[in-house]
Structure 1
Amino acid sequence: MELWYSGAVVDAVREAKSRRALFIVYVRDDNEQSEVVDKLWSDVWAVINDTSNMIVLRLNKGSEGCDQFTAIYKVQTYPTIYFINGQNGQVLKVVEQIGEDSSKLHELIEESLKIIAPKQEASPQVTKSVEEKVAEARARLKEIYDKREEEAKAKEKEDEINRRRLGQQIQLDKQKKDEELLRKQAEEIRRDRLEQQKLQEKIKAQIQQDREEKRRKFEQEHSSPPEQAKAKVTTADVETPKINYTRSRLQFRLTDGSFFTEDFPCDVHMKDVYAYLNETLPADQYRVGSYILRTTHTRVTLTIDNPSTLKELELVPTAVLLVINRGNVHSSSSAVSSTNVFQSIPLVFTWFMMQFNFVYQLVFAKLFGNRPQQPEQTRSTSRVTNDRQVNKSENFKTDSTSKSTVRRFHNTQDDSDDEEKRTWNGNSTQQL
């Protein structure tokens, strides 16, 4: 009687594990060797009657159960017998060549049963209840949670230390940058003061030299002929030491009122200055070729193709350049021209009225011998003015000639006021 397990592979594995039995898997093929092994199993079944402590499963090659088994245990040759511990799935023995003696197969089964027998005897002693297993699982989970919590706290602490260290490093870097910037600014201020001081000393020396020259000329003009024969001291005899500047400090002023400063060598050309501005100025407002440079006082336009150096253009040691858009130049010039035209209209009208009034008074005086009648308010004003002139006759002086009857009254005390009021002339654009 053959005692093969008739269920599926999964059921066989589950039953072997529950019974803690020996799990034997016989994988065969349709060859002669498999038929020989089948006869050996028939002889073994005749000897063994009790299979309560083992589960024997026969699998044919190509069947679904064989495919499931070979997916876990790699079968190389057919036939092959696997002796597996049903408790943990451990492979005890793999037999590929058995021979033609059934006793050898019986011995292999007995040896495998002896290997798992002590574990079967000891297993009831180590069997634990469900409550104990649950308690152990909870203790294990609690240990895992505590370990994870400790690792999270340690990581958080390390991250906080790294964050503080990074913040301190950033603060130190910022402090160093601020100190470097202050140092550069202080150096620039000191350099500017030195240059300004040298310039002031040079101007003072030039002024003193001019004064000495004027004094000598005055003394020579009013001195005796022998003294005039003395050698004259000119400005060429006393020369101030010239400073050979090697760098030019240019300040660029934009149309929005902002400005920035940069140092250049004295021998560079305007194309180098334009190249620096192309990289520095904002590209949306000052595109390449859309702006020009112009000096402040002489209003000289400096183009990019100017062959002269900064020293030849007299932009040393310092200079201020205006950065002007070409569109703003045309618009501003047109606006100024239109504004001047509108402002000149009242001036022209006033000039014509004055000329007409002068001609009218002249013709009236020639015909009638006296000036035209003035309004009552004008006469009263003239009377008050005459009274004031009589009371302050000592402060006035008259100018006359032998060929003219015109008299001019001049108030010496009101010179300061008249100087502020006399702001109009024939070429001025101001109105009376």
Structure 2
Amino acid sequence: MSQKMNWFNGSIPEAIQRSKQQKVLFIVYVHGQNDMSTEMDKVWNDPEVITLCNSSGSVAIKLAANSEACGHFSQIFPVVVVPSTYFIGVNGAPIEVTAGHKEKAEFVKVIQNVIKLHNDQLSAAQPSPPTAVVQPSTSTAQSTAPSTSTQPAEIEKPPLEERVQKAKEKMEIKREEKQKTEKEKVKEEEKERRKLGKDLQKLKDFQKERELKDSAEQMRKEKAEEKRQRDKIREQIARDREERAARFRKETQEQKLAAEEKKQAQLSARQKLTEEEEAKKMEMTRIQVRLPDGTSISNTFPSSDILRSVYTVVSGRIGADVTLSTVYPKRIFTQEDMSQTLLSLNLVPSSVLIAVPRKSNVISKPGNSGGGILAFILAPFLFLWNMIRVFLFGGSSQEKVEDTPPTSEESQPSSQRRTRPQTAYQRRPIRSEGNVRRLTEMRDDDDENATWNGNSTQQM
């Protein structure tokens, strides 16, 4: 059956009182929750250590480092390192203090040395029996006198003074030995005190070093934790940026798609409106026809009408057969073209046509040929003279028209002459030079505001 360590279950004062009464060694073991305490508990549970402590009759008490009893004990003996073992003698001074974990063999040697030192202290503390000098009384001397006188001389005791002197010498020797023992005890105590001071200093240094290591380890852990938190925050920021960028790209794409759809819708609506306007424009066309006398007529025709409708209006206005043609590109319409629509002939939405009579209706009178040639020769001089006269005396070329003799066309009956069509525009004055008539301005006001389009050279 395995032995168990006989730990004292009472308080520290009770343990101290028992150790003093029994004059045995007082052992205090302070343990904690660290790894060294766990290893030291295994050493205390070793059978050899248990046998040494129990056989010496020591009072051993076990204290937890965070207990109230340990706090009271540390006020007397500072607890620097956990675990620690304090071996205290009967005089209340520690004989040995061990700090930290000790191996079994080393701890057994420490216990054996402490037990030996404790026994030495006990033997030195016991007083030696005093040597008493007993003087015989008178009656005893008297009663023993006859007997002493009858004893032989060789067994006679030494004189009293000699015995007293020997006793004094022995007492002096004992006193010197006691002083020597006390001096040695003081030396040993001083050694123990110095040793305890060194051990305490080592404990303090060890504790300080341990605190520095723990502080460095704590700082390292805190830095690692801070770095981990910073990395986590950076990752979160990066994810947030990516999400914002993706959301921004998505919103931008949606906005672009919406803008594109809106633009396409607007283009479709505009194109549809343009097509409707073009369709409306293509439904009707405005045709302007320039007549041989310099005037022009304008009329609006449906795009589905054929060219013969225009021809009928123009020929009816002139009173003669005419040929219709375009200015640019130059094209003369034939009889086959008369049955085609204005849309198929690219005369939509507006066009300008030129009407040319097929046969001349001007009949020259005999005998006027010479006058015509003369008028043709003198025409430049007459034009120059008119310009000078207008510049010097004022007037207009209309007066010249009134003074000129009637031409062959004017001399014809009114039924045979072509009447100039009355339009909404102001007519320009005509200048006559012999048998030749010239228009001062071949274009009407409507022609001056003409514009270009893709189908014809001018647009009304």
- Give the TM-score range, shorter chain: under 0.3
The structure having more radius of gyration, on CA atoms, is 2
Q: With CA pairs under 8 Å and 6+ residues apart, which has the higher RCO, 1 or 2?
A: 2
TM superposition score normalised by structure 2: 0.26
